[in-house]
Amino acid sequence: MVQNLERPHAPVRTDRSTSRPWWRRPWIAPLFVLSVAYIAITAGPYLDEQTAPLMPHDGFPMYYPVLLTHISFATVALLTSIFQAWPWLRRRSPGLHRWGGRVYVLSTVVAGLLGLVIVPFAPPVGQLGVAVATTLWVAFTVMGYVRIRQHRYAEHRRFMLYAFAMVMNNFWGSSLVIVGTVLALPIDTNYYLEAARWVGWVINLMLVQWWLNRTAGRPVL
Taking only the tens place, the pLDDT of each residue in 3-19 is 443 333 333 333 444 44
Whole-prediction pTM value?
0.81
> What is the rounded distance in angstroms from the CA atom of residue 52 to the CA atom of residue 70?
15
Taking only the tens place, the pLDDT of each residue in 161-180 is 999 999 988 777 777 777 77
Taking only the tens place, the pLDDT of each residue in 126-138 is 899 999 999 999 9
Identity of the residue numbered 164 = F
Q: Tell me how far apart the 2 most distant CA atoms of the chain are, in Å.
A: 88
> What is the rounded distance in angstroms from the CA atom of residue 75 to the CA atom of residue 43?
9
Identity of the residue numbered 11 = P
Give the whole-number percent of the chain exceeding pLDDT 70: 85
Residue ranges per structural domain of the chain: 26-214
Q: Which of 60-64, 166-170, 184-188 has the lowest mean pLDDT?
A: 184-188
CA angle 16, 19, 21 (to 5 degrees): 125
